[in-house]
Structure 1
Amino acid sequence: MTHFTLRAGSCVGCALLSAALLSASCGDSESQPPGPDPLEVPEGCNPLASDVDCLLPFPSDFYRTEGDDGVRVRISDAAMPRFEDVPIDVTAAHPLDGYSVGTPIIASFGEPIDDASFVFWIDDIDRSTTPESQTTVIDAETGEAVPHFAEIDPRATDLARQALIVRPLVRLAANHRYVVGLHGITRLDGSVIDAPKGFASLRDEGGKAHSSLEAMSAHYEADVFPLLESFGLERTELQLAWDFTTRSEESAAGDMLAIREDMRERLSQAPPTVTVVGVEDAVSEHIARRIELTIEVPLYVSSPDVGATLTASPPIATEMVPVPVTVWIPPSVMNRAPGDPPARLLQFGHGFFGSRYESNDFPSAFADAHGFVVVGADWWGMSEADRNHVAASFVENPATVLAFTDRVHQGMANYIALAAAAKGPIAALPELQIQGAPAYDPATLYFYGISMGQILGQTYFALSPDAERAAFSVGGANLSIMMFRASPFQPFLALLQTQMPDALDHQKFAAIAQLNFDRIDPLTYAPYIFDEPLPGAPPDRGVVMQFGVADSTVPNLGTYFAAKIIGVPLLEGAGEAFPPWLPTTTAPATKAALTPFDFGDEPNYAAAPADANDVHNEVRKLGAAQTQISDFFRPDGVITNTCDGVCDPE
């Protein structure tokens, strides 16, 4: 565990006395070497709170420095979380020029704290932007306070190592500096907690306790303390303050956007080559024909195999590879009468480390009931084929556990290619002809993603040159918000516990891991859906989003956050107007809406529920949910409340 303490007070006193005697006995002090610092700061540690933890507070521009390769975040080995006492840097493969726009902000005071007065995410978030809030985050570029909530880690058993976590409830601006201030934090008995020794010295005496603090003093006096004071915080009451800078869009999304542009250029010249591998008829009640295909896709990673990584930045395609894809035709489409209109085209995104063959089940039933032909591919990087590799890498070489995000970049290229193929050569295949015409209308492509299919699907939808409307179900955004509240992550956290027993280190690991996940997380790509569409994106895009209240698999907070940063308001009348910080809209909505389905389960707002529920899997089965999507998936479709009032299964 990364945990450092000061030496005994007597040693510090000896050092101070020695320095004082040396100064008093010498007539020419300038000719003498400087005395020892009265505060010990272990090498590589942030001096602000090194008596509590080496890394914290995080994120911090203490670790963002200029070098031969420009400005980079360079976290020292001493500050990194450790697996079996080995520092683990999961960001080494992809240099960073700043921190995540969805970063958790973590601090610790080394003793139990009272969170009773914190602004929590179910509260009036506007309170977090006032000087009365115990936690403050200010955009230094604009001077505006950032809406956020604060919490303490409910999983920690050692309350002295319980993280204080501040979570912005907006997507932070890229390449902006933010200033954080904490004040009024109390112990469980109500007494005010002391500031960490390093910060107290910086606040009260210009950092005289250590040379590294003195080096920070000018910056704090010019750029940190004045901003917090002008906001209304008393300098003397600050218990901790620091600043950090978010990364550039290029740093987070550059590789993915380069792949998208290369794919778009290639597809403008010719559609993907399609090869039929096999055809099976009368597969099941809802599958009249299943067609196995391959499409040729440029390869941007080192091989088509699991574990492959990007070999260049920006990525360069080295060859063309066949990618397996599948088409499902339901009986309602296969048996249509002459003159009936063609079916609609649906691209499906599967769940957490699953496969395209999830469409053998629910998606095929949905397609049969509502007249869709379904196309699907595996999410390379987070598919069933990748699962064992990712698990093994966590045990055998933890520093590479997040390398699968490189292969997700290839997965996005595959999905872009599949959409282009479905709108072109796949529609023309003889196996797709019914009554002398294509089985589906290739002019319009709709996307439906469930669970991870929503999470990665939001990123894909932002990138896609072809998908015009999307249905997102029971997913979310921002891994660091979802991880500790989601039941599928609990086995991972249990394994993490065996290698890293300190709960505070778990929070630090998740915060650093988010820097890697930024490269695929929809929080990075959310603006490209509505606010800043990429070149060649379809105009007038639309999104319908659905979730189940108290979902134990993907926490509602992750869904609300996704809706907030994309710009999907809550549909009035379908459920409670909750949370209070999410905008609302009325039906019929032409652009976007979020619909809750309430099965009566009690939500846990702070952690993963002790008992898992089946809410996650039940939403998709509801007739009202299916009808809402089908009605919207038309060129002139709108989003309506298809429930009889509040959406519940009763």
Structure 2
Amino acid sequence: MRRLPLSIAAALCLSIALAVAACGDDGAGAAGDAAGADTAGGDATADTAVGEPLAFCEGATTFAYDPLGNDVLVGFPDDAWTVAGESATGLRVSLEHMAWLDSLPDLLRAPADDLAALDGWGTSAGVVLHFSAPVSAVPSGEAASLASDAVMLVALDGEVAERVPFEAQALDDGTTIVLWPMRPLAPKARYGVVVTTALTAADGGCVSPSPTLRGLLAGAPEDARLVSLAPRYAELLAKTGLRADEVSAALVYTTQSVGDASRAAAADIATRTYAWSVAPTCTTTSAWRFCKGAFTAWDYRHEGFLGDPITPVSYEIPVWIWLPPKSAGGGPYPTIIYGHGIGSRAAEGEFVAQSAAPLGFATVAISTLRHGDHPTARQGVANADVLDLFGLDLGSFSLKGLVFRENLRQAALDKLQLVALLRDAPDVTGDGAADLDGDRLAYYGISLGGIMGSDFLALGTHVGAAVLAVAGGRLVQVITEGSSFAPVKDLLTGILDDPEGVERLAPIIQTLIDGGDPVSYAPHVLADRFAGAPPHVLQQMVIGDETVPNVTNRSLARALGVTLVPPVFQEVGLIDVAASAPVRGNRDGGAVTAALFQYDRQSYTPGGTPQVATHAGIFGGIESEEQTFGFFSSYFAGEVPLVTDPYADLGTPPLP
């Protein structure tokens, strides 16, 4: 594709002229306020500035982009739907008077309204482009998306555009494409997506940009409300080296802030002292000593959402503890904090204690939000734990994505406060001696507990090792891709009366979730830490997982930056693959272990006949137990943890 030299002087003149025009337009609406706060500066220009005539495609297939007038959703996300605001990005999403909102069913009105609480768009959410007719195949995956001159997702905060790899999804018989970034985008940053004339329609013709988009690309939009957005398109052209008439479709947008409110809450937690509000009482069995108490924790969901200033209220959380038997010797004991699965509760920690107690490790668990004996849980209501967690109200047929986001964020803060309690009040049995070792803490999260692990690990500084079992990220795809959630998807599909409606609107829901989604925090677990040293991390995934689908496992692995340990059953992309197992100290000059292991089978006796691994069944198999507790044992022994191949160690044969 042709790349044209650009005049810096001409670019500067155009940017200044457009900025002056925006300032002088008292009637500028949403887009005028938004783009003016985030213009590209002096090195962006449209081709009209250098005097070359433009010849846009005039094909029958169109990208009918008109962000302030479309009555259907043609492109998403879009900074045309933002206004200047007091926020970390300088923006606020505003969808007032957008005609396409009228096309949404009642189910999606709440999510659309909730977007107004955001200061930008998704970091892991997909980009939606809708065409008037099917288009040809869109590149997908690391190699294809980075090499393509037909479709590009680019970061725009640098001097030149930086390509972002994506996976493409085709909907509506090829008239709609969704681009899912393979790694989360940077928060509070500018991005753009470009479809060039190299992408043809399915009939072989070119794809024609709308008059509105042509005006933006040429630097002369007809709608005065879009004038100050034009420099963003000039920047997009300049940094990609494209002529305006080489473009068939394009969007520019700013990502939301992620983690700021949670970090502020974590800082507040660090200033507090925690104690038992209900002293633990203990019973002794031959296997362990079981104790149960409670502590007062702070709920940071200001008016339902984490806010600034922080105005927490308190609630009392029961704590379940399994100590090793007295025969194991005195404490303080290395301690595993357990995060349970969806629909379960803290009592499930007994499953972990069965393996941990004989090794001399304590197990501690609390129920997560909306579950078990957590104070936010509704008792005696069928499926309330799952529905309330996701923000689904079947009575009103409404879906509240921000509720799910806040449940995820507050769950991490509950665990941070639990850690503070274990360190401040380690005496569980009441004999004056510490039972729990606050300097040797590990985390074992299974399913939902694994999903919630990244936020917790990124924000905390005292957990030194973690196993995130069958965990995933970009959580809207748990519903759209997970077979276990097919009944929920089918219900939503029926309400929408659209076989692909859930997939098409998933990027909107994910945009709401992103502020609490594990992939948003995972980049800060092993690198770019908010505070403290990185923990050792072992992520475990099950091939063909029916509950937390593999697409979400891969998203989390890429965001974490773990290394895939053989045997390899499924490519992940964008992460290293170890030459062989075992793996130890593969990061930070040998100081940190960070690995992903894939399970395709499980067995119950060494060398026994294996079964196909499943989401729930893997935890009854000997392979997962061998690997997990070997990892924890090496960490608690003061070593850099070891990640083994349990199939080799136990002699598990391949599947028949």
What's the TM-score, normalizing by structure 2?
Answer: 0.75
- Following superposition, the deviation at residue 85 of structure 1 comes to 8.4
Cα distance in 2 for partners of 1:448, 1:597 equals: 17
Q: Determine helix, strand or coil for the equivalent of 1:110.
A: coil
- Following superposition, the deviation at residue 186 of structure 1 comes to 3.9
Aligned partner (choices 134, 137, 143) of residue 126 of structure 1: 143
Tell me what 1:194 maps to: 207
Tell me what 1:376 maps to: 365
Is the contact between residue 382 and residue 408 of structure 1 (CA under 8 Å) also seen in structure 2? Answer: no
Is the contact between residue 256 and residue 519 of structure 1 (CA under 8 Å) also seen in structure 2? Answer: no
Tell me what 1:462 maps to: 458
Does residue 273 in structure 1 map to residue 302 in structure 2? no
Which letter does structure 1 place at the counterpart of 2:292?
Answer: E
- Following superposition, the deviation at residue 56 of structure 1 comes to 2.8
Cα distance in 2 for partners of 1:439, 1:288 equals: 13
Count matched residues: 552
Output one character per residue of 1:384-432: Cα deviation in whole Å (capped at 9) or x when no partner: 644354666254262646424334443333211222222342x32326x
Output one character per residue of 1:130-153: Cα deviation in whole Å (capped at 9) or x when no partner: 3x3431012112224333234334
- Structure 1 558/62 Cα, relative in aligned 2: closer, same or farther at 3 Å? same
Output one character per residue of 1:614-643: Cα deviation in whole Å (capped at 9) or x when no partner: 621233333333232223222214223233
Which letter does structure 2 place at the counterpart of 1:182?
Answer: V
Which letter does structure 2 place at the counterpart of 1:272?
Answer: A
Tell me what 1:147 maps to: 164
Moved more, 460-469 or 586-595: 586-595
Tell me what 2:199 maps to: 185
Is the contact between residue 99 and residue 246 of structure 1 (CA under 8 Å) also seen in structure 2? Answer: yes
- Structure 1 58/499 Cα, relative in aligned 2: closer, same or farther at 3 Å? same
Aligned partner (choices 570, 595, 598) of residue 596 of structure 1: 598
Q: Determine helix, strand or coil for the equivalent of 1:423.
A: helix
- Following superposition, the deviation at residue 62 of structure 1 comes to 1.0
Output one character per residue of 1:148-192: Cα deviation in whole Å (capped at 9) or x when no partner: 234334xx5x537x5301111122122221121113334445x23
Tell me what 2:252 maps to: 243
- Following superposition, the deviation at residue 470 of structure 1 comes to 0.6
Q: Determine helix, strand or coil for the equivalent of 2:122.
A: coil
- Structure 1 355/203 Cα, relative in aligned 2: closer, same or farther at 3 Å? same
Tell me what 1:518 maps to: 514
- Structure 1 71/334 Cα, relative in aligned 2: closer, same or farther at 3 Å? same
- Following superposition, the deviation at residue 334 of structure 1 comes to 0.7
Aligned pairs for 1:51-62 within 5 A: 54-62=72-80
Aligned pairs for 1:502-517 within 5 A: 502=498, 505-517=501-513
Is the contact between residue 574 and residue 647 of structure 1 (CA under 8 Å) also seen in structure 2? Answer: no
Cα distance in 2 for partners of 1:71, 1:79 equals: 21
Is the contact between residue 542 and residue 614 of structure 2 (CA under 8 Å) also seen in structure 1? Answer: yes
Q: Determine helix, strand or coil for the equivalent of 2:630.
A: helix
Which letter does structure 1 place at the counterpart of 2:550?
Answer: N
Aligned pairs for 1:265-414 within 5 A: 265-266=271-272, 270-276=273-279, 278-282=281-285, 288-301=288-301, 309-310=304-305, 312-318=307-313, 320-329=314-323, 333-334=324-325, 336=327, 343-360=333-350, 362-368=351-357, 370-381=359-370, 385=378, 386-389=385-388, 393-396=393-396, 398=398, 400=400, 402-414=402-414
Tell me what 2:235 maps to: 223
Which letter does structure 1 place at the counterpart of 2:188?
Answer: N
Cα distance in 2 for partners of 1:581, 1:527 equals: 13
Cα distance in 2 for partners of 1:565, 1:51 equals: 37
Aligned partner (choices 563, 567, 572) of residue 574 of structure 1: 567
Tell me what 1:625 maps to: 624
Which letter does structure 1 place at the counterpart of 2:353?
Answer: S
Output one character per residue of 1:481-523: Cα deviation in whole Å (capped at 9) or x when no partner: 5442222432222222232223564345322222321222122
Aligned partner (choices 637, 641, 654) of residue 638 of structure 1: 641
Is the contact between residue 295 and residue 319 of structure 2 (CA under 8 Å) also seen in structure 1? Answer: yes
Which letter does structure 2 place at the counterpart of 1:148?
Answer: P
Is the contact between residue 547 and residue 619 of structure 1 (CA under 8 Å) also seen in structure 2? Answer: no
- Following superposition, the deviation at residue 451 of structure 1 comes to 1.0
Tell me what 2:153 maps to: 137
Which letter does structure 1 place at the counterpart of 2:173?
Answer: L
Is the contact between residue 209 and residue 247 of structure 2 (CA under 8 Å) also seen in structure 1? Answer: no
- Structure 1 649/90 Cα, relative in aligned 2: closer, same or farther at 3 Å? farther
Output one character per residue of 1:534-576: Cα deviation in whole Å (capped at 9) or x when no partner: 33x3x352111111122121122222221221221112x3325
Cα distance in 2 for partners of 1:468, 1:243 equals: 40
- Structure 1 213/127 Cα, relative in aligned 2: closer, same or farther at 3 Å? farther
Which letter does structure 2 place at the counterpart of 1:638?
Answer: P
Cα distance in 1 for partners of 2:162, 2:370 equals: 37
Cα distance in 1 for partners of 2:112, 2:213 equals: 32
Tell me what 2:49 maps to: none
Tell me what 1:15 maps to: none
- Following superposition, the deviation at residue 238 of structure 1 comes to 2.4
Tell me what 1:546 maps to: 540
Which letter does structure 1 place at the counterpart of 2:595?
Answer: A
Output one character per residue of 1:204-248: Cα deviation in whole Å (capped at 9) or x when no partner: 87677x5368737843662233333x1xx5643422012111123
Tell me what 1:501 maps to: 497
Tell me what 1:430 maps to: 429
- Structure 1 443/503 Cα, relative in aligned 2: closer, same or farther at 3 Å? same
- Following superposition, the deviation at residue 262 of structure 1 comes to 0.8
Which letter does structure 2 place at the counterpart of 1:628?
Answer: Q
Cα distance in 2 for partners of 1:105, 1:477 equals: 17
Is the contact between residue 274 and residue 421 of structure 1 (CA under 8 Å) also seen in structure 2? Answer: no
Cα distance in 2 for partners of 1:481, 1:414 equals: 25
- Structure 1 309/218 Cα, relative in aligned 2: closer, same or farther at 3 Å? closer
Tell me what 1:171 maps to: 184
Is the contact between residue 539 and residue 596 of structure 2 (CA under 8 Å) also seen in structure 1? Answer: yes
Cα distance in 2 for partners of 1:528, 1:234 equals: 37
- Structure 1 199/549 Cα, relative in aligned 2: closer, same or farther at 3 Å? farther
Cα distance in 2 for partners of 1:405, 1:56 equals: 26
Q: Determine helix, strand or coil for the equivalent of 1:584.
A: coil
Does residue 159 in structure 1 map to residue 159 in structure 2? no
- Structure 1 649/466 Cα, relative in aligned 2: closer, same or farther at 3 Å? same
Moved more, 469-478 or 615-624: 615-624
Q: Determine helix, strand or coil for the equivalent of 2:100.
A: coil
Tell me what 1:478 maps to: 474
Tell me what 1:607 maps to: none
Tell me what 1:605 maps to: none
Is the contact between residue 186 and residue 255 of structure 2 (CA under 8 Å) also seen in structure 1? Answer: yes
Output one character per residue of 1:437-475: Cα deviation in whole Å (capped at 9) or x when no partner: 755544311000011111111111111232111111111
Is the contact between residue 570 and residue 577 of structure 1 (CA under 8 Å) also seen in structure 2? Answer: no
Cα distance in 2 for partners of 1:644, 1:46 equals: 54
Which letter does structure 2 place at the counterpart of 1:325?
Answer: V
Cα distance in 2 for partners of 1:423, 1:561 equals: 33
Tell me what 1:39 maps to: none
- Structure 1 321/367 Cα, relative in aligned 2: closer, same or farther at 3 Å? same
- Structure 1 410/245 Cα, relative in aligned 2: closer, same or farther at 3 Å? closer
Output one character per residue of 1:39-66: Cα deviation in whole Å (capped at 9) or x when no partner: xxxxxx9944789763331111111222
Is the contact between residue 153 and residue 166 of structure 2 (CA under 8 Å) also seen in structure 1? Answer: no
Moved more, 88-97 or 413-422: 88-97
What's the TM-score, normalizing by structure 1?
Answer: 0.75
Q: Determine helix, strand or coil for the equivalent of 2:520.
A: helix
Aligned pairs for 1:526-545 within 5 A: 526-535=522-531, 537=532, 539-545=533-539
- Following superposition, the deviation at residue 74 of structure 1 comes to 1.0
- Structure 1 630/310 Cα, relative in aligned 2: closer, same or farther at 3 Å? same
